[in-house]
């Protein structure tokens, strides 16, 4: 829980760290020439800066020569030559003391570099997911989780003390790689330690720590308005995670699937001691566990290729990949475009975070009573419906737009929470981390593309929202091709997927 709290603040950090405050060209050079010595600030801006259509001073250009006629109410300067800001910019620091935009002037012609920061970070997460999945399936969940902890701390520190924009984006890339390991390994390790009757509770309730992290992240961002300190603040819980790591057990399922029966027996006995169940295991030996788990192929090394070798798991992998793409594409499309709802950045983000509590609690009851498949499909289709309704609400009615956006965010978050559990239950133990890593990779492709879809506004203002809506609905319909996993045992081998009837009744309690 301690480590997963840090995930949402980092994922949405660019909303605050990359915020662009109000700005205009620096006119202090004209002061040095003695031209503006007796003018007020408003008069200086009126003389030096062209006005935008809404009457505000231009953010990116200034007049080549001062337009003194503006002091007398004469605004006929349409033909006056303008130039890009020659001396940099002046920023409004009332909300943010410093951001990466103000640090390196990532505005106007260089504003794409600000957006690129988030995209490069997401690419790091995208590549880190399959890498950590492969390594944790090969070397174990526990050691790779520690590597992810230490890597996240190291690269976050380096990014906070970056001396240039290039150094910063490189460090953010590697931070994303490390954080991806925390996201998927911690979830799988948690689910692999619980039995069928507790798997829904464990798989859904663990997602509440992400919600808690969202709320804490907004609070930290509100209190810490300097971007370097903000990175350090949201990373700090990982120090406690490193300390707590010593008490984490390795996955007994992974140990058994890899023929490490003695180690699995050791951890299972420790689990029994903690829960006062040692009498139940008096006759259980490492050999008994191996025989029960049916792990004859202990020396085989599984890779991503195994996700596509045989028909059933190939179909499973393709469908899950497309669904993950759609879910995360839609979710971050909503999360990363939170402006324009009539509320402040902090209040909108906090509202989006708080709505996750009731949505995840509802998900728990739905997936437990109705099932994983109908719950996932319903959440995605209703998300698409909310996005569709918002297309027909005028921008002036920001209250209704905010309500529909928050509801869509809640449903999208519900689909994310359920999908982690659903995917973990669908893949067999020997390729579970590979499968989740592959799914996360495809999902982060969607996340990386999601902010860029907003550029389609130049083609048609409603086109980005139509794309988000269509992807959500299409992903929801794909769920029909997947099986239900409610009250079924976790598959251990790929053969359990290809021949489910022969391996459907046993569960290690």
* CA 137 from centre of chain: 22
pLDDT tens sequence for the chain (509 residues): 888 888 888 887 887 888 888 887 877 766 655 656 666 777 777 777 777 776 677 778 877 777 666 666 655 555 677 778 877 888 888 778 888 888 898 888 787 888 788 888 988 988 898 898 888 888 889 999 999 999 999 999 999 999 999 999 999 999 999 999 998 888 888 888 888 788 888 877 777 888 888 888 888 888 888 999 999 999 999 999 999 999 999 988 888 878 888 888 889 888 888 888 888 887 888 877 777 665 444 556 778 888 998 999 999 999 999 999 999 898 878 776 655 445 567 777 787 778 778 888 888 888 888 899 999 999 999 999 998 888 888 777 777 877 888 888 888 888 988 898 899 889 988 888 788 888 988 988 888 788 778 777 778 878 888 999 999 999 999 999 999 988 888 888 888 888 754 444 444 44
Cβ neighbours of 247 (radius 10 Å): 6
pLDDT at 22: 82
Q: How far apart are CA 159 and CA 139, in angstroms?
A: 29
pLDDT at 295: 47
Nearest Cα residue to 352 out of 389, 417, 390, 402: 402
pLDDT at 336: 61
Nearest Cα residue to 191 out of 464, 507, 424: 424
Which residues lie across from 91 on neighbouring strands?
Answer: 23
88: left (phi over 0), alpha (psi -120 to 50) or beta: left
* CA 487 from centre of chain: 29
* CA 3 from centre of chain: 14
> Domains along the chain?
1-21+98-248 (1.20.1250.20), 24-91 (no CATH), 253-298 (no CATH), 300-489 (1.20.1250.20)
Which residues lie across from 82 on neighbouring strands?
Answer: 63
Contacts of 347 (CB under 8 A, 6+ apart): none
How far from each other are the two terminal CA atoms of the chain, in whole angstroms?
24
pLDDT at 505: 40
Contacts of 381 (CB under 8 A, 6+ apart): 472, 473, 476, 477
Phi, psi (5° rounding) for residue 51? Answer: -95, 145
């Amino acid at each position: 829980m301690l480590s997963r709290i840090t995930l949402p603040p980092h994922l949405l950090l660019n909303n605050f760290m990359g915020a662009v405050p109000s700005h205009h060209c620096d006119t202090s050079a004209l002061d040095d020439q003695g031209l503006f010595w007796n003018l007020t600030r408003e008069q200086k801006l009126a003389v030096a800066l062209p006005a935008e259509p809404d009457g505000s001073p231009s953010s990116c250009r200034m007049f080549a020569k001062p337009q003194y006629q503006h002091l007398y109410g004469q605004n006929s300067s349409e033909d006056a030559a303008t130039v890009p800001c020659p001396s940099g910019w002046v920023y409004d620091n009332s909300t943010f003391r410093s951001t990466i935009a103000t640090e390196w002037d990532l505005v106007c012609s260089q504003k794409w570099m600000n957006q690129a920061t988030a995209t490069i970070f997401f690419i790091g997460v995208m590549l880190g997911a399959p890498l950590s999945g492969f390594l944790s399936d090969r070397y174990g969940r526990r050691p790779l989780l520690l590597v992810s902890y230490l890597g996240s701390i190291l690269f976050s520190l380096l990014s906070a003390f970056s001396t240039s924009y290039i150094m910063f984006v490189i460090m953010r890339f590697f931070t994303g790689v490390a954080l991806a390991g925390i996201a998927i390994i911690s979830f799988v390790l948690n689910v692999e330690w619980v039995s069928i009757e507790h798997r829904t509770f464990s798989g859904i309730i663990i997602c509440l720590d992400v919600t808690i992290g969202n709320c804490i992240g907004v609070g930290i961002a509100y209190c810490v308005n300097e971007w370097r300190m903000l990175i350090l603040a949201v990373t700090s819980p990982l120090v406690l995670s490193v300390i707590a790591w010593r008490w984490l057990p390795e996955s007994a399922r992974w140990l058994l699937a890899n023929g490490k029966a003695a180690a699995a027996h050791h951890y299972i006995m420790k689990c029994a001691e903690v829960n006062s169940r040692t009498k139940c295991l008096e006759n259980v030996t490492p050999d008994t566990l191996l025989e029960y788990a049916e792990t004859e192929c202990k020396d085989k090394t599984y890779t991503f290729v195994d996700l596509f070798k045989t028909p059933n798991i190939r179909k499973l992998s393709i469908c899950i990949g497309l669904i993950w793409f759609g879910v995360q594409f839609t979710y971050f499309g909503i999360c990363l475009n939170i402006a324009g709802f009539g509320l402040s950045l902090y209040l909108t983000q906090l509202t989006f975070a708080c709505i996750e509590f009731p949505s995840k609690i509802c998900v728990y009851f739905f997936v437990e009573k109705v099932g994983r498949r109908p719950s996932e499909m319903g959440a995605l289709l209703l998300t698409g419906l909310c996005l569709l309704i918002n297309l027909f609400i005028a921008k002036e009615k920001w209250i209704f737009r905010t309500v529909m956006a928050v509801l869509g965010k809640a449903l999208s978050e519900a689909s994310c929470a359920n999908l982690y559990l659903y995917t973990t239950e669908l893949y067999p133990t020997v390729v579970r981390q590979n499968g989740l890593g592959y799914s996360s990779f495809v999902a982060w492709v969607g996340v990386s593309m999601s902010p860029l879809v907003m550029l389609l506004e130049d083609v048609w203002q409603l086109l980005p929202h139509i794309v988000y809506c269509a992807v959500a609905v299409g992903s929801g319909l794909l769920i029909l091709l997947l099986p239900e996993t409610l009250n079924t045992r976790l598959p251990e081998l790929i053969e359990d997927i290809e021949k489910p009837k022969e391996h459907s009744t046993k569960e290690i309690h």
